[in-house]
């Protein structure tokens, strides 16, 4: 889990640096970061839920709420698959 967290943090920092420096490729890195962070968060939350087994579904731990809300963040501002397709098209046209 630590590997995924550190990877997500690194790509998020890179996208932030690109935005702050007004880089022309900042939107691309923002989309990459959002897609990667959403997918990583969902994977880690499911792992945490499975670690708690049946207790993860209880409201005592709050994991069920986090997992439920992650689906919303993956669908907000467009589906990750659509964003990925858009990145591929942009990459192929700018070669």
pLDDT above 70 covers a percentage of the chain that reads 65
Instruction: Fill in the DSSP letter of residue 1.
Output: -
| R_g (Cα) of the chain, nearest Å | 16
Q: What is the dihedral of CA 37, 38, 43, 46, to 10 degrees?
A: 130
Count Cβ atoms within 10 A of the Cβ of residue 19 and give its class: 0-12 exposed, 13-18 middle, 19 or more buried. middle
**pLDDT digit string (tens) for 12-50?**
999 999 989 998 888 888 888 888 888 888 888 878 777
pTM above 0.75, yes or no: no
């Amino acid at each position: 889990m630590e590997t995924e967290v550190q990877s997500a943090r690194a790509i998020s920092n890179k996208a932030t640096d690109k935005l702050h420096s007004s880089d022309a490729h900042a939107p691309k890195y923002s989309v990459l970061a959002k897609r990667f962070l959403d997918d990583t968060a969902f994977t880690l939350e499911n792992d945490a839920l499975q670690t708690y087994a049946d207790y993860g579904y209880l409201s005592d731990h709050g994991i069920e709420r986090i997992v439920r809300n992650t689906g919303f963040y993956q669908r907000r501002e467009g589906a990750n698959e659509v964003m990925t397709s858009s990145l591929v098209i942009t990459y192929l046209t700018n070669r």
